[in-house]
Chains A and B, each alone.
Chain A
Amino acid sequence: MKKLKNTVNIVIPLAFVTLLLTGWEVMVRCKSVPEWILPGPVRIARTFADNAPVIAKHSQSTLLECLAGFGIAIVFSFVIAFLMDEIELIKRALYPLIVASQTVPIVSVAPLFIIWFGYGLMPKIIVVVLVCFFPIAISLMGGLAAVDREYLELFRSMKASRLDIFRMVKLPLAMPSFFSGLRISAAYSVMGAVIGEWLGAKQGLGLYMTLSQRSFQVDRVFAAILAVTALSAALFVLVVLAERLVIPWNRLKQDR
Protein backbone atom coordinates (compact mmCIF):
# COMPACT_ATOMS: atom_id res chain seq x y z
CA MET A 1 0.00 0.00 0.00
CA LYS A 2 2.76 2.41 1.02
CA LYS A 3 4.82 1.35 -1.97
CA LEU A 4 1.92 2.08 -4.28
CA LYS A 5 1.58 5.54 -2.77
CA ASN A 6 5.29 6.17 -3.31
CA THR A 7 5.05 5.09 -6.95
CA VAL A 8 2.10 7.39 -7.49
CA ASN A 9 4.07 10.22 -5.88
CA ILE A 10 6.81 9.75 -8.46
CA VAL A 11 4.60 9.04 -11.46
CA ILE A 12 2.38 12.11 -11.16
CA PRO A 13 5.11 14.80 -11.27
CA LEU A 14 6.96 12.83 -13.94
CA ALA A 15 3.85 12.71 -16.12
CA PHE A 16 3.34 16.43 -15.57
CA VAL A 17 6.90 17.27 -16.63
CA THR A 18 6.56 15.09 -19.73
CA LEU A 19 3.36 16.91 -20.60
CA LEU A 20 5.04 20.31 -20.22
CA LEU A 21 8.02 19.29 -22.37
CA THR A 22 5.74 17.88 -25.06
CA GLY A 23 3.69 21.06 -25.03
CA TRP A 24 6.86 23.12 -25.37
CA GLU A 25 8.12 21.01 -28.32
CA VAL A 26 4.73 21.13 -30.09
CA MET A 27 4.43 24.89 -29.62
CA VAL A 28 7.94 25.55 -30.95
CA ARG A 29 7.30 23.39 -34.03
CA CYS A 30 3.76 24.57 -34.89
CA LYS A 31 4.51 28.26 -34.49
CA SER A 32 7.97 27.75 -36.04
CA VAL A 33 9.69 29.86 -33.39
CA PRO A 34 13.21 30.74 -34.58
CA GLU A 35 15.90 28.68 -32.88
CA TRP A 36 17.84 31.70 -31.64
CA ILE A 37 14.81 32.74 -29.61
CA LEU A 38 13.53 29.48 -28.17
CA PRO A 39 14.75 26.04 -29.21
CA GLY A 40 12.63 22.99 -28.39
CA PRO A 41 13.61 20.40 -25.78
CA VAL A 42 14.67 17.90 -28.42
CA ARG A 43 17.09 20.40 -29.96
CA ILE A 44 18.45 21.29 -26.52
CA ALA A 45 19.00 17.64 -25.69
CA ARG A 46 20.86 17.13 -28.95
CA THR A 47 23.06 20.19 -28.34
CA PHE A 48 23.76 18.93 -24.83
CA ALA A 49 24.81 15.54 -26.16
CA ASP A 50 26.94 17.03 -28.94
CA ASN A 51 28.75 19.38 -26.59
CA ALA A 52 28.98 16.97 -23.68
CA PRO A 53 32.81 16.91 -23.51
CA VAL A 54 33.05 20.72 -23.52
CA ILE A 55 30.26 21.08 -20.99
CA ALA A 56 31.89 18.44 -18.77
CA LYS A 57 35.17 20.36 -18.84
CA HIS A 58 33.44 23.60 -17.85
CA SER A 59 31.37 21.79 -15.21
CA GLN A 60 34.55 20.52 -13.69
CA SER A 61 35.89 23.95 -12.80
CA THR A 62 32.49 25.13 -11.62
CA LEU A 63 32.19 22.07 -9.41
CA LEU A 64 35.68 22.63 -8.05
CA GLU A 65 34.81 26.22 -7.12
CA CYS A 66 31.58 25.06 -5.47
CA LEU A 67 33.20 22.35 -3.40
CA ALA A 68 36.12 24.51 -2.33
CA GLY A 69 33.87 27.44 -1.41
CA PHE A 70 31.38 25.17 0.28
CA GLY A 71 34.07 23.48 2.35
CA ILE A 72 35.67 26.74 3.42
CA ALA A 73 32.25 28.15 4.34
CA ILE A 74 31.55 25.11 6.52
CA VAL A 75 34.87 25.41 8.35
CA PHE A 76 34.36 29.15 8.87
CA SER A 77 30.83 28.57 10.12
CA PHE A 78 31.98 26.09 12.72
CA VAL A 79 34.75 28.35 13.97
CA ILE A 80 32.54 31.43 14.13
CA ALA A 81 29.57 29.58 15.64
CA PHE A 82 31.80 28.01 18.29
CA LEU A 83 33.39 31.34 19.23
CA MET A 84 30.05 33.14 19.27
CA ASP A 85 28.44 30.43 21.36
CA GLU A 86 31.24 30.30 23.90
CA ILE A 87 32.15 33.95 24.20
CA GLU A 88 29.31 36.38 24.73
CA LEU A 89 31.42 39.40 23.74
CA ILE A 90 32.20 37.94 20.33
CA LYS A 91 28.55 37.16 19.79
CA ARG A 92 27.53 40.73 20.60
CA ALA A 93 30.23 42.12 18.34
CA LEU A 94 29.77 39.83 15.36
CA TYR A 95 26.11 38.83 15.19
CA PRO A 96 24.70 42.21 14.05
CA LEU A 97 27.58 42.53 11.61
CA ILE A 98 26.91 39.15 10.04
CA VAL A 99 23.20 39.84 9.69
CA ALA A 100 23.80 43.34 8.31
CA SER A 101 26.31 42.00 5.80
CA GLN A 102 23.44 40.19 4.11
CA THR A 103 22.01 43.49 2.92
CA VAL A 104 25.00 43.86 0.59
CA PRO A 105 24.19 42.01 -2.65
CA ILE A 106 27.11 39.68 -3.33
CA VAL A 107 26.87 40.33 -7.06
CA SER A 108 27.67 43.97 -6.48
CA VAL A 109 30.96 43.24 -4.73
CA ALA A 110 32.02 40.35 -6.95
CA PRO A 111 33.71 42.65 -9.54
CA LEU A 112 36.06 43.79 -6.78
CA PHE A 113 37.33 40.23 -6.34
CA ILE A 114 38.02 40.04 -10.06
CA ILE A 115 40.09 43.22 -9.80
CA TRP A 116 41.98 41.94 -6.77
CA PHE A 117 42.41 38.29 -7.65
CA GLY A 118 42.17 38.09 -11.43
CA TYR A 119 40.34 35.63 -13.61
CA GLY A 120 41.34 32.41 -11.85
CA LEU A 121 39.42 30.27 -9.40
CA MET A 122 40.04 32.44 -6.36
CA PRO A 123 37.44 35.18 -6.88
CA LYS A 124 34.72 32.59 -7.63
CA ILE A 125 35.59 30.62 -4.53
CA ILE A 126 35.32 33.80 -2.47
CA VAL A 127 31.87 34.50 -3.90
CA VAL A 128 30.77 30.94 -3.11
CA VAL A 129 32.09 31.24 0.45
CA LEU A 130 30.23 34.52 0.96
CA VAL A 131 26.99 33.12 -0.44
CA CYS A 132 27.15 29.87 1.55
CA PHE A 133 28.48 31.15 4.84
CA PHE A 134 25.34 32.94 5.98
CA PRO A 135 22.77 30.13 5.76
CA ILE A 136 25.21 27.61 7.24
CA ALA A 137 26.41 29.80 10.09
CA ILE A 138 22.94 31.06 10.99
CA SER A 139 21.43 27.59 11.05
CA LEU A 140 24.32 26.24 13.09
CA MET A 141 24.13 29.10 15.58
CA GLY A 142 20.36 28.75 15.74
CA GLY A 143 20.74 25.06 16.49
CA LEU A 144 23.30 25.72 19.20
CA ALA A 145 21.18 28.42 20.81
CA ALA A 146 18.02 26.29 20.71
CA VAL A 147 19.45 23.53 22.91
CA ASP A 148 17.15 23.02 25.89
CA ARG A 149 18.63 24.73 28.98
CA GLU A 150 17.82 21.66 31.04
CA TYR A 151 20.34 19.62 29.05
CA LEU A 152 23.03 22.12 29.93
CA GLU A 153 22.05 22.12 33.60
CA LEU A 154 22.02 18.34 33.73
CA PHE A 155 25.49 18.12 32.23
CA ARG A 156 26.78 20.91 34.42
CA SER A 157 25.50 19.05 37.47
CA MET A 158 27.46 16.02 36.26
CA LYS A 159 30.58 18.19 36.25
CA ALA A 160 30.97 18.30 32.48
CA SER A 161 33.42 20.95 31.28
CA ARG A 162 32.31 23.63 28.84
CA LEU A 163 34.14 21.87 26.05
CA ASP A 164 32.49 18.56 26.97
CA ILE A 165 29.09 20.22 26.91
CA PHE A 166 29.78 21.75 23.51
CA ARG A 167 31.10 18.52 22.07
CA MET A 168 28.70 16.03 23.63
CA VAL A 169 25.48 18.02 23.90
CA LYS A 170 25.31 21.19 21.86
CA LEU A 171 26.99 20.06 18.69
CA PRO A 172 24.98 16.86 18.14
CA LEU A 173 21.72 18.56 19.09
CA ALA A 174 22.48 21.37 16.61
CA MET A 175 23.29 19.01 13.74
CA PRO A 176 19.76 18.68 12.27
CA SER A 177 19.49 22.46 12.05
CA PHE A 178 23.01 22.71 10.63
CA PHE A 179 22.15 20.29 7.85
CA SER A 180 19.02 22.18 6.89
CA GLY A 181 21.24 25.22 6.37
CA LEU A 182 23.66 23.09 4.42
CA ARG A 183 20.93 21.91 2.07
CA ILE A 184 19.95 25.48 1.28
CA SER A 185 23.50 26.59 0.61
CA ALA A 186 24.25 23.60 -1.60
CA ALA A 187 22.07 25.18 -4.28
CA TYR A 188 23.39 28.67 -3.49
CA SER A 189 26.96 27.56 -4.00
CA VAL A 190 26.42 26.75 -7.70
CA MET A 191 24.65 30.04 -8.20
CA GLY A 192 27.56 31.87 -6.56
CA ALA A 193 30.12 30.15 -8.76
CA VAL A 194 28.18 30.84 -11.96
CA ILE A 195 27.73 34.51 -11.09
CA GLY A 196 31.44 34.74 -10.38
CA GLU A 197 32.19 33.24 -13.77
CA TRP A 198 29.82 35.58 -15.61
CA LEU A 199 31.99 38.48 -14.55
CA GLY A 200 35.09 37.00 -16.07
CA ALA A 201 36.65 33.60 -16.12
CA LYS A 202 38.95 31.32 -18.04
CA GLN A 203 36.68 28.35 -17.67
CA GLY A 204 33.36 27.31 -16.14
CA LEU A 205 29.69 26.96 -16.93
CA GLY A 206 29.16 30.68 -16.34
CA LEU A 207 31.74 31.47 -18.99
CA TYR A 208 30.23 28.93 -21.38
CA MET A 209 26.86 30.58 -20.81
CA THR A 210 28.06 34.11 -21.55
CA LEU A 211 29.96 32.97 -24.65
CA SER A 212 26.92 31.12 -26.00
CA GLN A 213 24.65 34.03 -25.20
CA ARG A 214 26.88 36.51 -27.06
CA SER A 215 26.76 34.39 -30.17
CA PHE A 216 22.97 33.90 -29.81
CA GLN A 217 23.33 30.14 -29.45
CA VAL A 218 20.31 29.84 -27.21
CA ASP A 219 20.34 26.05 -27.39
CA ARG A 220 23.78 26.12 -25.75
CA VAL A 221 22.58 28.51 -23.08
CA PHE A 222 19.84 26.02 -22.31
CA ALA A 223 22.34 23.18 -22.28
CA ALA A 224 24.39 25.17 -19.76
CA ILE A 225 21.28 25.76 -17.66
CA LEU A 226 20.70 22.02 -17.71
CA ALA A 227 24.25 21.40 -16.52
CA VAL A 228 23.98 24.02 -13.76
CA THR A 229 20.73 22.49 -12.57
CA ALA A 230 22.22 19.01 -12.56
CA LEU A 231 25.19 20.31 -10.57
CA SER A 232 22.90 21.92 -7.98
CA ALA A 233 20.87 18.75 -7.68
CA ALA A 234 24.01 16.63 -7.33
CA LEU A 235 25.33 18.82 -4.52
CA PHE A 236 21.97 18.69 -2.80
CA VAL A 237 21.96 14.91 -2.98
CA LEU A 238 25.52 14.89 -1.66
CA VAL A 239 24.42 16.90 1.37
CA VAL A 240 21.43 14.64 1.97
CA LEU A 241 23.68 11.57 1.82
CA ALA A 242 26.18 13.19 4.19
CA GLU A 243 23.31 13.96 6.54
CA ARG A 244 22.24 10.32 6.57
CA LEU A 245 25.80 9.29 7.26
CA VAL A 246 26.55 11.83 9.99
CA ILE A 247 23.24 11.89 11.86
CA PRO A 248 21.53 8.57 11.08
CA TRP A 249 19.64 8.84 14.38
CA ASN A 250 17.75 11.89 13.17
CA ARG A 251 15.84 9.81 10.64
CA LEU A 252 14.53 7.47 13.33
CA LYS A 253 12.36 10.25 14.64
CA GLN A 254 10.79 10.86 11.26
CA ASP A 255 10.03 7.16 10.83
CA ARG A 256 7.89 7.04 13.93
Chain B
Amino acid sequence: MPEIVIQEISKTLGGLLTLGEINMKAADSAFVGILGPSGCGKSTLFNIISGLMRPDSGHVFIDKQDVTGRTGRVSYMRQKDLLLPSLNILENASIPLILKGHPKKKAHAEAEKHLSQFGLEGFQRYYPSQLSGGMRQRAAMLRTYLFSSDILLLDEPFASLDAITKRKMQTWLIGVFNQIRPTVMFITHDVDEALYLCDKVYVLSECPTVVKMEIKVPFSRPQHGRTITDPGYSKMRDTIMEALEL
Protein backbone atom coordinates (compact mmCIF):
# COMPACT_ATOMS: atom_id res chain seq x y z
CA MET B 1 0.00 0.00 0.00
CA PRO B 2 1.18 3.48 -0.86
CA GLU B 3 2.74 6.27 1.08
CA ILE B 4 1.60 9.86 0.69
CA VAL B 5 4.03 12.74 1.19
CA ILE B 6 2.92 16.34 1.16
CA GLN B 7 5.87 18.65 0.76
CA GLU B 8 5.79 22.38 1.54
CA ILE B 9 2.41 22.96 -0.03
CA SER B 10 1.20 26.55 -0.07
CA LYS B 11 -1.87 28.02 -1.69
CA THR B 12 -3.39 31.48 -1.90
CA LEU B 13 -7.15 31.62 -2.44
CA GLY B 14 -9.02 34.82 -3.23
CA GLY B 15 -5.93 36.90 -2.37
CA LEU B 16 -5.66 35.26 1.05
CA LEU B 17 -2.78 32.96 1.97
CA THR B 18 -4.81 29.89 2.96
CA LEU B 19 -2.23 27.14 3.15
CA GLY B 20 1.28 28.13 4.17
CA GLU B 21 3.98 25.49 3.88
CA ILE B 22 2.14 22.33 4.82
CA ASN B 23 4.20 19.18 5.35
CA MET B 24 2.55 15.86 6.05
CA LYS B 25 3.24 12.22 5.64
CA ALA B 26 0.91 9.28 5.64
CA ALA B 27 2.86 6.05 5.81
CA ASP B 28 1.79 2.83 4.19
CA SER B 29 -1.51 1.62 5.68
CA ALA B 30 -1.57 4.47 8.19
CA PHE B 31 -4.77 6.11 9.38
CA VAL B 32 -3.92 9.79 9.53
CA GLY B 33 -6.26 12.41 10.94
CA ILE B 34 -6.36 16.07 9.99
CA LEU B 35 -7.97 18.31 12.59
CA GLY B 36 -8.52 21.99 12.10
CA PRO B 37 -10.97 24.85 12.47
CA SER B 38 -13.52 25.16 9.70
CA GLY B 39 -12.40 27.31 6.79
CA CYS B 40 -8.71 26.68 7.44
CA GLY B 41 -8.22 24.92 4.12
CA LYS B 42 -8.61 21.23 4.89
CA SER B 43 -10.77 20.58 1.83
CA THR B 44 -8.42 22.72 -0.23
CA LEU B 45 -5.61 20.41 0.82
CA PHE B 46 -7.59 17.40 -0.46
CA ASN B 47 -8.35 19.24 -3.69
CA ILE B 48 -4.60 19.61 -4.12
CA ILE B 49 -3.82 15.97 -3.27
CA SER B 50 -6.46 14.72 -5.69
CA GLY B 51 -5.09 16.99 -8.40
CA LEU B 52 -8.18 19.17 -8.80
CA MET B 53 -6.18 22.22 -7.75
CA ARG B 54 -2.56 23.17 -8.30
CA PRO B 55 -0.65 24.43 -5.26
CA ASP B 56 1.25 27.70 -5.63
CA SER B 57 4.33 25.82 -4.52
CA GLY B 58 5.18 22.43 -3.12
CA HIS B 59 4.61 18.87 -4.22
CA VAL B 60 2.46 15.86 -3.59
CA PHE B 61 4.14 12.48 -3.82
CA ILE B 62 2.31 9.20 -3.83
CA ASP B 63 4.73 6.28 -3.65
CA LYS B 64 7.59 8.64 -4.50
CA GLN B 65 5.85 9.66 -7.70
CA ASP B 66 5.12 13.35 -8.17
CA VAL B 67 1.36 13.64 -8.79
CA THR B 68 1.07 17.39 -8.14
CA GLY B 69 -1.80 18.90 -10.15
CA ARG B 70 -2.74 15.62 -11.81
CA THR B 71 -6.10 13.99 -11.36
CA GLY B 72 -6.68 10.29 -11.65
CA ARG B 73 -4.59 8.81 -8.86
CA VAL B 74 -6.98 9.39 -5.95
CA SER B 75 -10.45 10.77 -5.55
CA TYR B 76 -11.91 11.85 -2.24
CA MET B 77 -15.12 11.42 -0.35
CA ARG B 78 -16.96 14.42 1.02
CA GLN B 79 -19.46 15.28 3.68
CA LYS B 80 -22.21 15.27 1.06
CA ASP B 81 -22.70 11.82 -0.41
CA LEU B 82 -22.97 13.24 -3.96
CA LEU B 83 -24.72 10.12 -5.20
CA LEU B 84 -26.64 10.62 -8.42
CA PRO B 85 -30.38 10.47 -7.66
CA SER B 86 -30.99 9.01 -11.11
CA LEU B 87 -28.96 5.86 -10.48
CA ASN B 88 -29.41 3.04 -8.03
CA ILE B 89 -26.79 2.19 -5.43
CA LEU B 90 -25.01 -0.38 -7.55
CA GLU B 91 -24.87 1.93 -10.57
CA ASN B 92 -23.64 4.79 -8.39
CA ALA B 93 -20.88 2.69 -6.86
CA SER B 94 -19.80 1.42 -10.29
CA ILE B 95 -19.27 4.91 -11.73
CA PRO B 96 -15.48 4.98 -11.27
CA LEU B 97 -15.15 1.63 -13.05
CA ILE B 98 -17.37 2.79 -15.89
CA LEU B 99 -15.27 5.95 -16.20
CA LYS B 100 -12.15 3.80 -16.36
CA GLY B 101 -13.67 2.14 -19.40
CA HIS B 102 -14.94 -1.13 -17.97
CA PRO B 103 -18.03 -2.48 -19.71
CA LYS B 104 -21.17 -1.96 -17.65
CA LYS B 105 -21.72 -5.61 -16.83
CA LYS B 106 -18.20 -6.14 -15.59
CA ALA B 107 -18.26 -2.93 -13.56
CA HIS B 108 -21.50 -3.94 -11.85
CA ALA B 109 -20.18 -7.42 -11.12
CA GLU B 110 -17.02 -5.96 -9.60
CA ALA B 111 -18.95 -3.48 -7.44
CA GLU B 112 -21.35 -6.21 -6.38
CA LYS B 113 -18.46 -8.15 -4.83
CA HIS B 114 -17.91 -5.41 -2.27
CA LEU B 115 -21.51 -4.71 -1.32
CA SER B 116 -21.58 -6.84 1.80
CA GLN B 117 -18.29 -5.42 3.04
CA PHE B 118 -19.79 -1.96 2.79
CA GLY B 119 -23.04 -3.00 4.45
CA LEU B 120 -25.09 -2.56 1.29
CA GLU B 121 -26.04 -6.14 0.56
CA GLY B 122 -29.61 -6.35 -0.69
CA PHE B 123 -29.81 -2.62 -1.35
CA GLN B 124 -28.14 -2.53 -4.75
CA ARG B 125 -31.39 -1.73 -6.57
CA TYR B 126 -32.45 1.01 -4.16
CA TYR B 127 -32.17 4.66 -5.14
CA PRO B 128 -30.20 7.01 -2.89
CA SER B 129 -33.34 8.85 -1.78
CA GLN B 130 -34.71 5.60 -0.37
CA LEU B 131 -31.77 5.05 1.97
CA SER B 132 -30.68 6.51 5.30
CA GLY B 133 -27.81 8.99 5.57
CA GLY B 134 -25.45 6.35 6.94
CA MET B 135 -26.17 3.95 4.08
CA ARG B 136 -25.66 6.69 1.53
CA GLN B 137 -22.28 7.55 3.04
CA ARG B 138 -21.28 3.88 2.86
CA ALA B 139 -22.28 3.80 -0.81
CA ALA B 140 -20.26 6.96 -1.41
CA MET B 141 -17.32 5.33 0.35
CA LEU B 142 -17.62 2.24 -1.82
CA ARG B 143 -17.53 4.47 -4.87
CA THR B 144 -14.39 6.19 -3.55
CA TYR B 145 -12.88 2.81 -2.79
CA LEU B 146 -13.56 1.51 -6.29
CA PHE B 147 -11.69 4.46 -7.76
CA SER B 148 -8.53 3.88 -5.75
CA SER B 149 -8.68 0.98 -3.36
CA ASP B 150 -5.29 1.59 -1.79
CA ILE B 151 -5.82 5.19 -0.67
CA LEU B 152 -8.92 6.67 0.94
CA LEU B 153 -9.18 10.42 1.38
CA LEU B 154 -12.18 11.15 3.59
CA ASP B 155 -13.33 14.75 4.10
CA GLU B 156 -15.59 14.90 7.16
CA PRO B 157 -17.50 11.85 5.91
CA PHE B 158 -19.63 11.49 9.03
CA ALA B 159 -20.16 15.16 9.91
CA SER B 160 -23.80 15.25 8.81
CA LEU B 161 -24.83 12.08 10.64
CA ASP B 162 -26.49 11.86 14.05
CA ALA B 163 -24.33 10.79 17.00
CA ILE B 164 -25.49 7.16 17.12
CA THR B 165 -25.16 6.56 13.39
CA LYS B 166 -21.82 8.32 13.47
CA ARG B 167 -20.49 5.97 16.14
CA LYS B 168 -21.75 2.95 14.23
CA MET B 169 -20.07 4.18 11.08
CA GLN B 170 -16.78 4.77 12.91
CA THR B 171 -16.79 1.24 14.28
CA TRP B 172 -17.70 -0.10 10.86
CA LEU B 173 -14.91 1.93 9.22
CA ILE B 174 -12.36 0.44 11.62
CA GLY B 175 -13.55 -3.02 10.60
CA VAL B 176 -13.22 -2.24 6.89
CA PHE B 177 -9.84 -0.62 7.45
CA ASN B 178 -8.56 -3.73 9.24
CA GLN B 179 -9.62 -5.87 6.31
CA ILE B 180 -8.29 -3.86 3.39
CA ARG B 181 -5.53 -1.85 5.10
CA PRO B 182 -5.54 1.17 2.79
CA THR B 183 -3.68 4.38 3.54
CA VAL B 184 -6.29 6.74 4.97
CA MET B 185 -6.32 10.50 5.42
CA PHE B 186 -9.32 11.56 7.43
CA ILE B 187 -10.43 15.18 7.85
CA THR B 188 -12.57 15.97 10.86
CA HIS B 189 -13.19 18.75 13.33
CA ASP B 190 -14.23 16.28 16.01
CA VAL B 191 -11.34 15.64 18.40
CA ASP B 192 -12.84 12.42 19.80
CA GLU B 193 -13.43 11.05 16.33
CA ALA B 194 -9.79 11.72 15.43
CA LEU B 195 -8.47 10.01 18.55
CA TYR B 196 -10.88 7.13 18.13
CA LEU B 197 -9.88 6.33 14.55
CA CYS B 198 -6.39 7.56 13.82
CA ASP B 199 -2.82 6.45 14.40
CA LYS B 200 -1.54 9.95 13.90
CA VAL B 201 -3.25 13.35 13.99
CA TYR B 202 -2.15 16.62 12.41
CA VAL B 203 -3.61 19.65 14.14
CA LEU B 204 -3.88 22.67 11.87
CA SER B 205 -3.97 26.35 12.80
CA GLU B 206 -6.23 29.15 11.58
CA CYS B 207 -5.38 30.88 8.28
CA PRO B 208 -2.64 31.10 7.09
CA THR B 209 -2.72 27.44 7.93
CA VAL B 210 0.32 25.57 9.17
CA VAL B 211 0.70 22.26 10.97
CA LYS B 212 0.54 23.27 14.59
CA MET B 213 1.03 19.87 16.10
CA GLU B 214 1.66 16.32 15.06
CA ILE B 215 0.51 13.71 17.55
CA LYS B 216 0.98 9.96 17.50
CA VAL B 217 -2.02 8.26 19.06
CA PRO B 218 -0.58 5.56 21.31
CA PHE B 219 -3.79 3.69 22.17
CA SER B 220 -4.65 0.74 20.04
CA ARG B 221 -7.71 1.26 17.91
CA PRO B 222 -10.74 0.02 19.88
CA GLN B 223 -12.54 -3.13 18.77
CA HIS B 224 -16.31 -3.51 18.71
CA GLY B 225 -17.13 0.10 19.40
CA ARG B 226 -15.63 0.28 22.91
CA THR B 227 -14.75 3.62 24.38
CA ILE B 228 -11.07 4.27 24.93
CA THR B 229 -10.38 4.01 28.66
CA ASP B 230 -6.63 4.63 28.59
CA PRO B 231 -5.74 7.16 31.32
CA GLY B 232 -3.61 9.09 28.83
CA TYR B 233 -6.67 9.76 26.65
CA SER B 234 -8.12 12.79 28.38
CA LYS B 235 -4.71 14.39 28.71
CA MET B 236 -4.09 14.02 25.00
CA ARG B 237 -7.56 15.35 24.27
CA ASP B 238 -6.81 18.44 26.38
CA THR B 239 -3.51 19.03 24.60
CA ILE B 240 -5.27 19.00 21.22
CA MET B 241 -8.08 21.22 22.48
CA GLU B 242 -5.49 23.70 23.68
CA ALA B 243 -3.74 23.65 20.32
CA LEU B 244 -7.08 24.36 18.64
CA GLU B 245 -7.61 27.19 21.15
CA LEU B 246 -10.95 25.79 22.25
Contacts and interface: CB of A to CB of B under 8 A. Distances in A.
Interface in B213-245: none
Question: SS class of chain B's interface: helix, strand, loop or mixed?
Answer: loop
A252 B129 CA distance: 7
B177 interface: no
B127 A249 contact: yes
Nearest to B96: A158
Contact of B71 (A150, A151, A157, A252): A157
B202 interface: no
A256 B52 contact: no
Interface residues of B, number: 24
A178 to B, nearest CB: 13
Interface in B105-150: 127, 129-130, 147
Contact of B47 (A148, A153, A160, A164): A153
A172 B84 contact: yes
B72 A169 contact: no
Interface in B11-51: 47, 50-51
A168 B82 CA distance: 13
Nearest to B85: A249
Interface in B78-117: 78, 80, 82, 84-87, 95-96, 99-100
Nearest to A172: B86
Given A173-B84, A173-B85, A159 B78 contact: no
B75 A160 contact: no
Contacts of A247: 86
A156 interface: yes
Contact of A253 (B51, B80, B85): B85
A56 to B, nearest CB: 39
A157 B9 CA distance: 19
A168 B85 contact: no
Given A150-B80, A157-B76, A256-B129, 4 more contacts: A150-B78, A157-B51, A158-B99, A159-B99
